[in-house]
């Protein structure tokens, strides 16, 4: 990693657990992110130690400096409770109080757990799916209790997500759970299995949404992307007795051929990675795009392996156009990548249909 020392010039924005800063490094100004749980607070004029790797690599989502330490107030005491470590065996390892650990009042619930009892679990691959999915679900059912589980496939601190902050403030998402090495949710869990159990037994969810945090790692190779976790989560939901709804990544705006129609990410997951059946909503756009999607499903035997349902999508435009939150994916907004966001929203329609038919 690249490490530099900078000076805090300005606090641009501040939320409960995160600060966006303007820092000066070698007489140039840069944006920096500070996680209060890791480094405490800073003030204008403080000298800070910065991880500058992402900026030097010209990365997109991760293209900020990150504060490692406030050199003016370097020491920080240990909080009480909990002994489960995340970011284990790194200089950044931190202690959390996991919901399932022995000293937790919820410990017994995990051993007594029997089944998710057919709770729909919507499983996405990109964090940008979270807003259309949750907004659509709340539009369809005002009383639905929605719990979001963030995996560690991308960003690890949930506080980085402005979407989560906005959705919680508007009571669209009620509770959050961070699993694996992601951290900062209302509940912490060791893995996706206990995260799903916690969503049902502790948070009493009616609908569970699972995606990674902001960012994704991809290499342009068949299996080299962190979105493969969608297949493993589908299997986990089936193991625990839930109903997995897999959001296919669909776009006709991406310049990369491998992501046109149903992305190769989704085809790989649904064809090869998951070993069990998922429910998959497929939009009907009433144009040539429909035949592209149908051919991809048939050619890869996805239509035989999974439960496919086709939906008309005209009404979804009106709903998503009313969404007050920013919707962007890969730099494209709703109108620039309409098919992508509509497909994500359709998963909520499928979830509500399944709930009503139980």
Both tokens assigned to 343: 């497909």
Strand 207-212 relative to strand 120-123: parallel, antiparallel, unpaired? parallel
Q: Per residue in 99-136, pLDDT tens? A: 999 999 999 999 999 999 999 999 999 999 999 999 99
Tokens read off for 60: 């997109």
Q: What was the pLDDT predicted at 287?
A: 94
pLDDT for 62 equals 57
Question: Which among 62, 74, 71 is positioned nearest to 31, based on CA atoms?
Answer: 62
Which token pair is 37? 């749980």
| Distance, C-alpha 165 to centroid of its chain | 13
Alpha carbons 131 and 127: distance in angstroms, whole number: 8
What is the structure's pLDDT at 37?
87
DSSP letters for 245-314: EEPP-EESS-SSGGGSEE-HHHHHIIIII--S--EEEEEE-SSTHHHHHHHHHHHTTHHHHSEEEEEE-H
User: 200-225 pLDDT, tens per residue?
Assistant: 999 999 999 999 999 999 998 999 99
* Six-digit token string for 125: 């691959």
pLDDT attached to residue 113: 98
Q: Write the burial class of residue 143 (CB in 10 Å: 0-12 exposed, 13-18 middle, 19+ buried).
A: exposed
Q: Which residues of the chain have pLDDT under 70?
A: 59-62
What pLDDT score was predicted for residue 274?
98
Tens of pLDDT, residue by residue over 284-313, are 999 999 999 999 999 999 999 999 999 999
Are the C-beta atoms of residues 94 and 181 closer than 8 Å to each other?
no
């Amino acid at each position: 990693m690249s490490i530099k020392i900078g000076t805090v010039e300005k606090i641009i924005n501040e939320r409960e657990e995160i600060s966006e800063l303007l820092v000066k490094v070698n007489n140039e100004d840069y944006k920096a992110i500070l996680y209060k749980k890791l480094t405490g607070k800073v003030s204008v004029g403080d000298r800070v130690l910065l991880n500058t790797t992402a900026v030097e690599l010209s990365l997109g989502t991760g293209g900020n400096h990150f504060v490692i330490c406030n050199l003016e107030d370097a020491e920080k005491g240990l909080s009480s409770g909990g002994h489960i470590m995340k970011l284990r065996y790194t200089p950044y390892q931190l202690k959390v109080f996991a919901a399932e650990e022995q000293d937790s009042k919820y410990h017994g619930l995990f051993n007594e757990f029997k089944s998710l009892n057919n709770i729909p679990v919507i499983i996405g691959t990109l964090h940008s799916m979270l807003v259309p999915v949750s907004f659509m679900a709340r539009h369809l059912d005002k009383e639905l209790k929605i719990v979001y589980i963030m995996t560690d496939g991308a960003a690890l601190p949930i506080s980085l997500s402005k979407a989560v902050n906005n959705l919680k403030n508007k009571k669209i998402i009620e509770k959050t759970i961070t699993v694996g090495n992601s951290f900062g949710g209302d509940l912490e869990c060791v893995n996706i299995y206990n995260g799903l159990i916690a969503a049902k037994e502790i948070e009493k969810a009616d609908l569970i949404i699972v995606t990674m945090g902001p960012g994704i790692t991809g290499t342009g190779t068949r299996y080299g992307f962190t979105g493969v976790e969608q297949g493993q989560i589908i299997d986990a939901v089936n193991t625990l007795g839930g109903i997995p709804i897999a959001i296919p990544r669909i776009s006709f705006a991406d310049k990369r051929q491998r992501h046109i129609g149903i992305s190769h990410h989704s085809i790989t997951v649904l064809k090869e990675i998951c070993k069990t059946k998922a429910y998959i909503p497929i939009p009907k756009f009433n144009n040539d795009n429909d035949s592209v999607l149908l051919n991809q499903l048939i050619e890869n035997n996805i239509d035989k392996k999974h439960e496919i349902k086709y939906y008309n999508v005209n009404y979804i435009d009106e709903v998503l156009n009313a969404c007050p939150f920013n919707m962007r994916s890969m730099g494209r907004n709703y109108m620039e990548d309409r098919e992508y966001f509509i497909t994500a929203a359709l998963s909520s329609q499928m979830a509500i249909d399944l709930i009503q038919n139980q």
